[in-house]
Structure 1
Amino acid sequence: MAPTQLALLSLLLGVLIGTGVCVIVFVAIRARERAERERAGLVPAGITQVLDAMDDPAALVDASGLVVATSPTAAWLGIEPQATLPQEGLRELVRAARSGSTETENLRLQRGGMSSESRLVAARATRVSARHTLLLLRDLTEQERLEEMRHDFIANTSHELKTPVGAIMLLAEAIEMAADDAAQVRAFTPRLSAEAERLGTLTGRIMNLSRLQAAEELTSVGHVAIDEVVTSAVEAHVVQAESAGVELTRGGDRGLYVRGDQQILKEAIGNLVANAIAYSPRGSHVGIGVHRSGDVVEIAVTDQGIGITEADQQRVFERFYRADQARSRRTGGSGLGLSIVKHAVSRHGGEIKLWSQPHRGSTFTVRLPLSDPPALESPDAKAAKARADKLKKIKKQNPAEIPAARAKK
């Protein structure tokens, strides 16, 4: 066969193959479009647009139990198009709604994927056509948690305030009855003072926590040296550590700064140190370490104490929640320390993390945004600042003296 004929034959074969491929692709596209049109015809008008705009999980289920459309947030419960509902409780609710009635029920469901976390949801199933049932879900887990916190706050506040108030009343009555017995009075007085101090501490912590929760931003912001914060926390609890037979140690990076309220941060880290000492056995160590991790300062307080179970770790930052009620009573704990720490750290744009295992101890790590060290002021700047402060002080005392003070300058 001549080369020209071979070239023509090859060209013809190429054209035939190309045409065949185009026909196959065209048929596939048309089949897909036809299937989409068929599916679109089965879905009531407007339902898809409504589902796409919903923030809550929702799904449209056909008569066979197949999910034909979902909202964007339905996947976190494992609800996927062209699949059956993954939870038996949801399937039963949809079946009950096919009679034409609207069915509503609160269910506790497992999240989709590898997560074992359960969520409390309000499920509502409504028949929207002869073939379809609309399933709407609302996550109530956060609402349930807040209700538990509110209940705990009311119950614990009333109990915690009632205990020292009742003790003070009884001790005052005992002192009055033993007014002629100096020895009895001397015996009751220290106990009365201790209960009054406990009441004052509890009231002060409630007020501090309320202030941190109510304030939208910090009122006193400046450069805070982490060295000073840690030093203050250690020095404030040396006596407590010595009484408990616990050794305090500190280490890590030095010269780091953050932006915030120095007093609030001192109280927060101090609360962590106090907790670590209170829950540590005699002869153990409590360590305070500082580490720079990129643009973050990490302050870790580690103890060798009783540890915290995994279930309690989810709630230890709640107000008045105490993992070990008996030990907290003996140590005078109010159950507010960790809640105050969490809110104080949050106000500084940081976070607090917890690692703990029963009988192996705990580590609370405060992570705060790193700040540049404060710039050193020149002597002239310091003098100008001192003059400005002096003028402010004079203005508060006698505004008429301001011109004279400026003349002396």
Structure 2
Amino acid sequence: MDLVYGILLTLVALAVGVAAGVLIARARRSPGPDVTDSRHHEGGRAIDTEPPHTGKHSMKGLGRKSLDSLRVGVVVLDAEDHPVLVNPAARAMGLLRSGGAPGTIAAHPILRTLAGQVRRTGVRREVELDLPRGRAGGAEAPLGLHLRAVALNSTHVAVEAADVTESHRLARVRRDFVANVSHELKTPIGALQLLAEALLDATEVPAAEAASDEDPNEDLLAARRFAERIHNESARMGRLVNELLELSRLQGAEPLPTPEPVAVDWVIAEVIDRTRTTASAKNIEVVYSGPKGATVYGSDSQVATAVTNLVENAIAYSGDDTKVELTLRQDDDWIEIDVADQGIGIAPHDVDRIFERFYRADQARSRSTGGTGLGLAIVKHIATNHGGRVDVTSSLGDGSTFTLRLPARPPEAPLPLPTAIEIESGAAGR
């Protein structure tokens, strides 16, 4: 009981912070739990909810009541992933399951997975996901949860769960709207590109006329300039639509592919091939250094897209006659790919925002670089979906280095987490 008492005191501070921060800031609408029983018997394990109100026990009872009054669910798991402390909100969210033996309980498999990851790595884990509720195939919307798992000591892990169902519903509506509009725009944009190409062919100045001393037809030249502008802008809009669709897929509109071994050598060769034309136009050299034969686990097309976006971003913000360097580092668990440029760099107040959708650190250069503002957001989501991350170090005038970190071994967790839902409203670009 001394261990449980210590856990209670720790969770009081945690609970108050969650109540003031997560619940108020997120303005969740889930109803508060009713505390009706003072003692729970679960699998022979008794959990006090109203101990004697004297001395140390009085403080313990106050801590327990504070914990029970929260709308955030809290579950504490021991070394064997048995729940030793559960508040009513966690029960209402369905975070407990029937145990293997009659009359026993067990934590939801997702909670056990998170707890195991925290014990192995010693790092706090946070994830937002949708859990099905009701019977399979039912019409009831899934329960959106923000789960945060932290280690209390070497054996016990606390998992707090906040109801974010409404936020997830709004995110799905927004994502579906963007995907549907993007699909509808593809046809007229494609038609514009074809018409612009036809106009360019029709307004091409004949070679004989161009070689003569006579001034070319001014109307013809003006029509050609307008056709070129239409062609360039429609191509840019086409890239924007394609990247919006790609971002929508990465945010959960489509299931993630099963992780497979991906040869980094192939990824680097593909990236250099995709960016060769853009780099040559600015006389930028794209070079690679690192060991051969490295492997990451995930989707080959997504990994190639992520690295390509980083290299294209580096080229766009670098001057002519410079260099973009790709460097590979690896250990038993991770592969890290650095993309370093000699470009304009990023101001310190912009570093934390460049992975937001449509955010640009340099608004004046947004049109000249021709980007869509979604490339870095796509990189962030690909890294997150693969269980990795992307970081950046930069300073103004000294260039930037982006580091993509991806798993070098297959996932160890036997239970995959449900599809994560992106609920941020920001956007990416530089």
Using the size of structure 1 for normalisation, the TM-score is 0.50
Return the structure number with greater relative CO, CA threshold 8 A, min gap 6: 2
Q: Rg larger in 1 or in 2?
A: 1
User: Going by fraction, where is helix more abundant, 1 or 2?
Assistant: 1
